[in-house]
Amino acid sequence: MISNWGSALVRTFRGTSAPMTYTLIGLCCLIFVLGPASGFVPSYGTGDALLAAQRAYFRRWGVVPADLFGSPAREALTPVTALFIHGSWIHLLGNMLFLYVFGTMTEERLGRVEFTLFYVVCGYLALLGYAVANADSEQSLVGASGAISAVLGAFLYLFPRARVTSLLPFLFFLPLRFPAWVVLPFWAALQWLAAGQAAQGPGVAYLAHLVGFTLGFGYAWVRFGRTTRVGPAPVTVPEGENQP
């Protein structure tokens, strides 16, 4: 869940053409609104009936590690369907903010088709990696965090000097600007520490974040090599500093 990452990162430049990023955001939002977690569909009921509908929905479309390795072949598709399912408004909006911030420029660099395949495949492998490490778990895993973490990893390699704005809770949420090579490795370190405490904390798949981030960075490294990194965007095309 991206919204649990602890800081909001905002791009200081605007991409020019990223239709698949916007399409992915639109699909996630549409699917959420039509699902039981949004509260917008009366047919799911209220109270206990709504909670039961949500549990069934997440189990049907999310990744359940115990089912993934011991059930019919259709379960093999759940790491894809889970990428478009979110558990709450905060979960959805946090993920979509990060996809918008980092997805547009990454898509421009990779291209539409390659970016889409990269997003889905890395997201699938991130959720699969979590499932392998928690093969006996009966808990449903949903959300685009693994795929978006891969986008962050690729962004770090491709645009290490791009400046982003961070809101740090321990500094009273003061907006501070840092290059991506400072912010994103710091985030990855937090995920590593949180993964070690996962059994004691909330149901956030920190391991999926780490797997996705590593896959994304590794893919960009292999795909583009050392000579294709892009520096910070010109200050003449600022986007502004929107807050989530």
Active site residue 145: yes
Q: How far apart are CA 65 and CA 87, in angstroms?
A: 17
Q: How far apart are CA 16 and CA 105, in angstroms?
A: 8
Q: How far apart are CA 208 and CA 144, in angstroms?
A: 10
- Helices 112-133/145-158 angle, 10° precision: 120
Residue 180 is encoded by which pair of tokens? 């991506």
97 φ/ψ angles, rounded to the nearest 5 degrees: -60, -50
At residue 6's C-alpha, the angle toward residues 2 and 11, to 5°, is: 70
SS3 11: strand
Active site residue 209: yes
Among 3, 145, 149, 166, the active-site one is 145
Q: How far apart are CA 244 and CA 10, in angstroms?
A: 9
Looking at the annotation, which residues are catalytic? 145, 209
